[in-house]
Structure 1
Amino acid sequence: MMRLLYALLLIALPYGVWAEGCPDEARSQVGILAEQINQWDDGYHRLGQSPVSDELYDQARQRLTHWRQCFPESTVASDTPLASSRGTLPHPVAHTGLEKLLDEQAVGTWLGTRQDVWIQPKVDGVAVSLVYRHGRLSQVISRGDGAVGHDWSASARKIPGIVQQLPAPLDLVLQGELYWRLDDHVQSVSGGINARSKVAGLMNRKQLSDTDAAGIGLFVWAWPEGPAGFSERLATLARWGFSDSRRYSQPIQNITEATHWRAYWYNHPLPFASDGVVLHQAQRAPAGRWQVSAPYWAVAWKYPLGKALALVRDVQFNIGRTGRITPMLELEPVRLDDRQISRVSAGSLKRWQSLDIRPGDQVSISLAGQVIPRLDEVILRSTTRAELPVPNPGKFHALSCWQLDPGCEEQLLARLTWLSGNQGLALPHIGRETWNVLIQAGLIAGFLDWLTLDAAELANIDGFGDRSRARVLESLHSARQRPFAQWLKALGVPPAARNNLEGDWQTLVARDTQAWLAIDGIGPGRAAQLSAFFRDPHVQAMAETLRVAGIDGF
């Protein structure tokens, strides 16, 4: 459906559709978001342009409605999202909206009180009324605000996908969706690809070319004064040439069947974009009683979101073992593909600086490989640009932070986590949380301080029971039996050289850059890293500590 339909239906949505609460930082953003949406509305309805995806627009509009409920004092005046699209031509039958049901349970409840229900893909296009007089197409009216719209008749007469002449001289009104034709479009893979906006833009032009007209199809989803039986309506429409309606309609009796068809159409090829399914009860109100509001006889069940509009609450800077700085965005939780997402990486410090993301900004996120949250772009910037404690990248590198110096907490903790992990010494029962507890207790201030810990020191840590202390101590002591090659990995020897190291510590330290270059497979960059690592004073001091501790190879 068009954006204007969505805007009208927001008041009909259940409160729980939007997962977030009422974040304090949103109070000052209500007006900014409203202004941005007004600009999008004007560009979309008046100019046929869509600077933001349909999916993100829908979420922005829904968020604005929610924030206005949270902070009514921040709402100066209600905007009119349909002001530039209302038109002047009245619809013979009002366009109703659709209530969006939240989940399988809600759909099951709705189905439980109804009979003779059919399911169709929720075609993602632009809604129209088609008016036939004496069997000939007389008018095509854009949905507008549901009561009146624009006259699209001239362009519609050029679209081969619209039946221009019925086989009988009938007067009737149909409602349906103009969509952009796609070849084998799989919604779960490709998303909406802004197909809705493309059709809206074409229909808003003064002239529609023959090529563009051929790319537009029609899906009829309502015959307000048609036969009472849904199957009879579909059969008649198919005889007249509206074949999509019957091809993509299925009778259902329960939630299992509804779930099946929703998943099927989401994951299998269709000739159009769709953003969910629509459930129709065959019995409905007489056409004269249809109103611009959600009816009782039809509901929508949307597909999982492909992109989510997320409000940034904070920006944290994680410093990894090698000194890499990774900005992490803390988000107001949003749901994406049935998962709740509350944080996402900005990638590198350089990318974060180029995007300049601050608390209060709103960003688009998606799932990479349907698993990992991914930052796509900034959708709306807060006018307040908060100062952030950005780490100096010059202070952090592969050989920094072997001690708990100021600002080194993150990198030292990352080094210790690597050391005890499977890529290092593989110490059981020792992970990031254990190291953090030991650091907070003041027992570790350097990378190898744990080597000398004893039971008496662990006994003073709150939250460590006798069994936990025994397991941790046993695990730490087992590190002394690990082979030399495993210790090199735990210390963080440059990774590209791990398969090329032969000899004990003294042999490796004696090699300079040229000696490393002489080894097959080691290039200039790798040689410089190895030379720097083995000659670093902190690394050499740790090697001496390990030698004194009796670790093999040192």
Structure 2
Amino acid sequence: MDRPSAEKQVKELHNLLNQYNYEYHVLDKPSVPDAEYDRLMRELLEIEEEYPDLKTPDSPSQRVGGTVLDFFQKVEHRSPMLSLGNAFNEDDLRDFDRKVRQAVGEDFSYVCELKIDGLAVSLRYEDGLFVQGATRGDGTIGEDITVNLKTIRSIPLRLNEQVSIEARGEAFMPKKSFEKLNEVRLDKEEEPFANPRNAAAGSLRQLDPRIAASRNLDIFLYAIADIGETGVSSHSEGLDFLERLGFKTNKERKTCATIDEVIQFVEGWVDKRPNLPYEIDGIVVKVDSLQQQQELGTTAKSPRWAIAYKFPAEEVVTKLKDIELNVGRTGVITPTAVLEPVKVAGTTVQRASLHNEDLIREKDIKIGDSVVVKKAGDIIPEVVNVLVEQRTGEEKEFSMPTHCPECESELVRLEGEVALRCINPKCPAQIREGFIHFVSRNAMNIDGLGEKVVTQLFKEKLIVDVADLYKLSKEQLLGLERMGEKSVTNLLKAIEDSKKNSLEKLLFGLGIRHVGAKAAKTLAQHFDTMDKLASASLEELTAINEIGEKMADSVVSYFENEEVHELMEELKESGVNMEYKGPKPVSAEESDSVFAGKTVVLTGKLEKLTRNEAKEKIEGLGGKVTGSVSKSTDLLIAGEDAGSKLTKAQDLGIEIWDEEKMLDELNR
């Protein structure tokens, strides 16, 4: 593609990607599938790679995260980011209303907004272009987190109008993003975040913006720092103006004529807040008129024209009666505090997370202590600290056990890990969690075995480990709740079909520590059979590319367990396949295929194969599949709607095939 064509295409891609991004992340009304957005983004990235000077600060490509920072620069806010005074009950709200009426009379109205539980940020635009984003800091000095804020897709990189403006808002992590993030952290044996607010703040203060980009943050804008020449005369008009510029504001707001309407709005959200996809910790009440806001003025710390009603306390004091131990899917032993029931954040709490033994030691937690418990919305409660001054001398030290509380197997602490772990594959607690993983799509792919059915199977003692799955009868399944003839027939067929899976599916399903789907396939390809893998040494495993020492050690430890040998024998007897069925990777020297030793790029939509299937087959014949076209590319496979990769390949004189030609060569 020549430069004039590239410039024109980049402009068109900017417009399309910005439009589709706004529809998806701000309006929540996408007009194209994700695949189309991804295709256009790939095309833009390819052009920017070829013409780096066309990569502008407002390019949609800048949302993916760039260079790792050494530190954050300090930023002085042009006008202070003040904190709000708090109200904790109806009397506080009425007292605030009385002071407002004394200052401006009776002719005014309020705007009520949800108080998002996140991180306050300031966004500065020059001539419509996003130039700087900063944290609140101490209200006067914040930190420049522009690169991280650019990864939030609901923040426009260029406004709909060429205005210079500073907008302020609350960056936050949606509940679903928070849950997924903590699942990943727990799988990696990392400390989970206590709540979405901490997770959002931690994400935006990462020196590596790619981390922020991976965490799916969002934002609501709530104010204009300097109205200037915008013509806006009220707070509600300001919110409408922000929307017109392309910002995302929270729609759950209301203009109220009286304090009684405000109180009614507040009370309504006390009950409705759990249903929101994000966390809120109160309601912000503001005088709507900007002129009246000026008349009311501010104190050194907060405006007199606004107040934040805080929802019921999220931290309370209660007694820690006992510490129970729970066994997770990977065998990690997690201590849980058993509490005297206490009301916190609108619910009664009787248990709280203690995470691990080191945390118990660090916080000096003893059974019988008075403790501070924290809970925010739907987040799992946690013990924040101990009230040491309230100890009576009757408190008891807690010690972690040496054997599993479920199966009595000896617990181990793997090198470099904090957690104690049960490595018995027949441990009932692990099996209950691991069973759901075993039947999942990426593992044995047994459709019809959802969590409710699995729970019933354990409750009725029809299964103890995954081997029992292959011994279930039609009569046993028909006895379960909501399992009719057709459901049972389909489930039994799915179970039978799963016996034919290739070895890597079984390996992944077994949940061996550190062995994900990709590593399972690598191991299966290398060793061919379960028996060969089970007898492999640490040296043999670490000699394989992509298998590190930690993973190798985990595999060896797993297969040294006698219960694992018994489980493998049971699965074999049931007819479960123990061999690798997929294509074996070969070197270019070993292959006589036309793909051997060639660097291949796939582009466009394939009809007969998925991209992954095509990649797998080509690599199985000694080829190498890469994602971008360059002078070192030997062959381009072009499907439907092939974009700039096809054009670039043509310009470079690279050999180009269609899908039919590729299939002919694959099937030789």
Question: Which structure has the larger Rg?
Answer: 1
TM-score normalised to structure 1 length? 0.43
**Greater RCO (CA < 8 Å, at least 6 residues apart):** 1
